[in-house]
Structure 1
Amino acid sequence: MTASPVDPIEAYVGADTAVISAEQRDQIAERWGLDDPPLQRLGAWAGQVVQGDLGTSVVFGEPVVDVIADRFVASLALLALAWVFSGVLGFVMGLVAGVHHGRPLDRVLSWWAYTLASAPTFWIGLLLLYVFAVQLQWAPVCCAAPIGSLPGEVTLLERLHHLALPALTLSVIGISPVMLHTRQSTIEVLSSDHVTFARSQGEKGTGLVLHRVARNAAGPALMLQFASIGELIGGAVLAEQVFTYPGLGQATTTAALRQDVPLLMGVALFTALLVFLGNSLGDLTHRAVAPHAREGVR
């Protein structure tokens, strides 16, 4: 951030810095420690973090903890909806593709997954925005609620209406990895000895897939789904910017563009904690669903 070409004082003022005097510039720099060497600023920040203080946001003028809490609450519904949708749809599509391995349906689903995995999040968001908001006018263009409405006046249906396109954009980036890993796990399970034995006992079709394949394929899918929380948050930065959604992702972009170092560092710590929790939950869930994973660790 200190190597950025953005002038932090100009970003703080938000207007032409020629209208402020040299004394005012010095006061702003002293207030935020902008004249201190980078290592000194980092040390001061680390000392505050040890004491439980993440500092004050330059842009919002509030404690970083409060800004993150308010914005994360706004993003939570978006992230949760996209996370659930991508996991469920990716797992089901992976099962279908694995069961039809080598057939046209498998090729179509795999091609679709690789295409989505290669597409940038902001491009998908712009495409969905153009089709469903501009052309078809089925969805709103921006924001988390109708423009001009007070928070208490917004209905649940209106919130879901504004949430649909951003959540769909975010879920798309999570479908592909879950689907491809589930597909591969399904293919391996179908070729295993216990499935061959079950087939010799007369099991087949949907019953075989649900009782013999789904649980074994669910372990890797769940672990990957929990581990994808970091990518989901990263995608939210772009998706919320495209749809002007007032969440944690948009706050991160604002902090980067306006040299709000305390807020950006606080967001980095917060997201690192979420990724750590996601990876830990994924590992525990994998061991619970697939008992052989515990045996492998021993």
Structure 2
Amino acid sequence: MNITHYIIKNFMKMILLIVLVSVVTFTLAVNSPIDPIRQYIGTGTVTDEQRDSIEEYWGVNDTKVERFVKWSTNLLHGDFGDSIIFRKGVLSVIWEKAGSSLFLMLSTFTLTGILGYVIGLFMGRFRDSIGDRILKSICITFSATPTFWVGMLMLIIFSVKLGIFPIGFSMPVGVSADEVRIFDKIYHTILPALTLTLVFIPNIALHTRSKVIEVLESDYVLFARARGESQKSIMKNHVIKNTVLPAITIQFGSFSEIFGGSVLAENVFSYPGLGTTIVAAGLGGDIPLLLGITIIISIFVFVGNFIADLLHIFINPMIREEEI
């Protein structure tokens, strides 16, 4: 019952978050200088009757409160509206583009979590060694480097100069979706995923390094050494157990950062995911699509943080007693 109560409490928090995000994003959208009618019409011309019909469809003549009530009511029924750019439902556009983005983000999430933690353990274990100094310098350099610059550098080296990887897209050009193999998707995802991995590894690696050093300098590790416990045993029984939870927190808390980085990486590599869709919606003034993606991403980030909390509860009994 306790864990059920905890899940229900966090579910209510997510509902409150969605309400707040909806209010803020809708307020920003309706007060923006974008004219939804002009964006919908594009460069074409329409008659006065047609324009009146479009204005009635978008509710331009209604008050902002009425427009919000109508939009939020439709939202509760699963209707996110229609995309101006793609001329179809917002949810269908998000569903169509989310697959490629999720594949890219999950690949990045897995690589950064595993490699970042292992590198952090190595740097902390061999503190101030040549390997630690080199890896630390590399981490600091990449942590201060913009994602798009790393992406362009990877593109120039591995695609243009060496020709090892494709220049862009998530599948081969001229091949139908039914004929695309999983190897093709992985092959086209390697460079964007590697770019994001290089940018986000330093965060978890440097954090893990500092935690490892802190544990190795603690009194209980000093006592373990005095007992004759081996370095391998100390790393296994003390260091890993006391550093894996902070690493999990950092990793799951970086969901929003990874998504933000994927927006830049997708545009550099012309990777057709939610990142390129957001940019296209912003440039095209597609307010319904922008609002829909914002809400979906808010839920995505909240769920990521919630999973991190659940992992803490199930891994650490002390936290379980405090939280639930």
**Could you tell me the TM-score, scaled by structure 1's length?**
0.90
The aligned amino acid for 2:263 is V
- What is the CA–CA distance in structure 2 between the aligned matches of 1:177 and 1:25, rounded to whole Å? 51
Give the C-alpha shift of residue 95 in structure 1. 0.8
Residues 216, 289 of structure 1: alpha-carbon distance in 2 compared, 3 angstrom cutoff: farther
Code of the aligned partner of 1:69: W
Residues 50-96 of structure 1: per-residue CA shift (max 9 Å, x gap): 33322222222222222222211222211111100011111011111
**What corresponds to 1:28 in structure 2?**
54
- Which of residues 176, 188, 198 is equivalent to 1:162? 188
Which amino acid in 1 is paired with 2:270? T
Query: Are 1:286 and 2:312 matched, yes or no?
Result: yes
Is the alpha carbon distance of 1:134 and 1:4 closer, same or farther for their aligned partners in structure 2, counting shifts above 3 Å?
farther
Q: Distance in 1 between matches of 2:207 and 2:87?
A: 44
Match of 2:227 among 201, 219, 222: 201
Secondary structure (helix, strand or coil) at the match of 1:59 reads coil
Equivalent in the alignment of 2:139: 113
Question: Is 1:220–1:286's contact at 8 Å kept on the other side of the alignment?
Answer: no
1:184 partnered with 2:210? yes
Q: CA deviation at 1:286?
A: 2.7
**Match for residue 240 of structure 1?**
266
Q: Aligned partners of 2:202 and 2:68: how far apart in 1?
A: 38
- Check if 1:221 corresponds to 2:221: no
Is it true that 1:41 corresponds to 2:67 in the alignment?
Answer: yes
Q: CA 1:118–1:41 in structure 2 vs 1: closer, same or farther (change >3 Å)? A: farther
Higher mean displacement: 54-63 or 142-151: 54-63
1:12 aligns with 2:44: no
Partner of 1:103: 129
Aligned to 1:230: 256
The match for 2:288 among 246, 262, 272 is: 262
1:150 to 2:210 alignment = no
Query: Is the 1:229–1:275 contact (alpha carbons within 8 Å) kept by the matching residues of 2?
Result: yes
Distance in structure 2 (CA, Å) of the matches to 1:97 and 1:296? 32
Q: Please tell me whether the aligned partners of residues 39 and 84 of structure 2 are also in contact (alpha carbons under 8 angstroms).
A: no
Change (3 A) 1:152 1:271: same
* TM-fit CA distance, 1:31: 2.8
For 2:199 and 2:283, how far apart are their aligned partners in 1? Answer: 25
Report the alpha carbon displacement of residue 262 of structure 1 after superposing the two structures with TM: 1.3
**Are 2:36 and 2:287, in contact at CA under 8 Å, matched by a contact in 1?**
no
1:257-288 Cα deviation digits (max 9, x unpaired): 11111111111111111111111111222343
Q: 2:76 pairs with 21, 46, 50, which one?
A: 50
- Change in Cα spacing, 1:22 to 1:242, as seen in structure 2 (3 Å) is farther
Equivalent in 150, 166, 176 of residue 140 of structure 1: 166
Structure 2, gaps ≥5 residues long: 1-28
For residues 201 and 295 of structure 1, what CA distance do their matches in structure 2 show?
A: 31
Aligned residue for 2:40, secondary structure, equals: helix
Taking the aligned partners of 2:208 and 2:202, their CA distance within structure 1 comes to 10
CA contact (8 A) 1:224 1:282 kept: no
Cα shift at 1:25:
4.2
Residue correspondences, number: 296
Identity %: 40
Q: Which residue does 1:86 correspond to in 2? A: 112
Residue of structure 1 equivalent to 2:153: 127
Per-residue Cα deviation, 1:192-227 (whole angstroms, up to 9, x for no partner): 222112212323334432332112111100111111
Alpha-carbon distance in structure 2 between the residues aligned to 1:36 and 1:133: 52
TM-score of the aligned structures, taking structure 2 as reference length: 0.83
Say whether residues 1:253 and 2:279 are aligned partners.
Answer: yes
In structure 2, the CA distance between the partners of 1:292 and 1:173, relative to structure 1 (3 Å rule), is farther
Question: Mind listing any 5+ residue stretches in structure 1 that lack a counterpart?
Answer: none
Instruction: Please say if residues 80 and 292 of structure 2, whose CA atoms lie closer than 8 Å, have aligned partners that are also in contact.
Output: yes
Residue 105 of structure 1 and its aligned partner are, at CA, apart by 2.6
Does the residue aligned with 1:286 lie in a helix, a strand or coil? Answer: helix
Q: Which secondary structure state, in structure 1, belongs to the residue aligned with residue 288 of structure 2?
A: helix
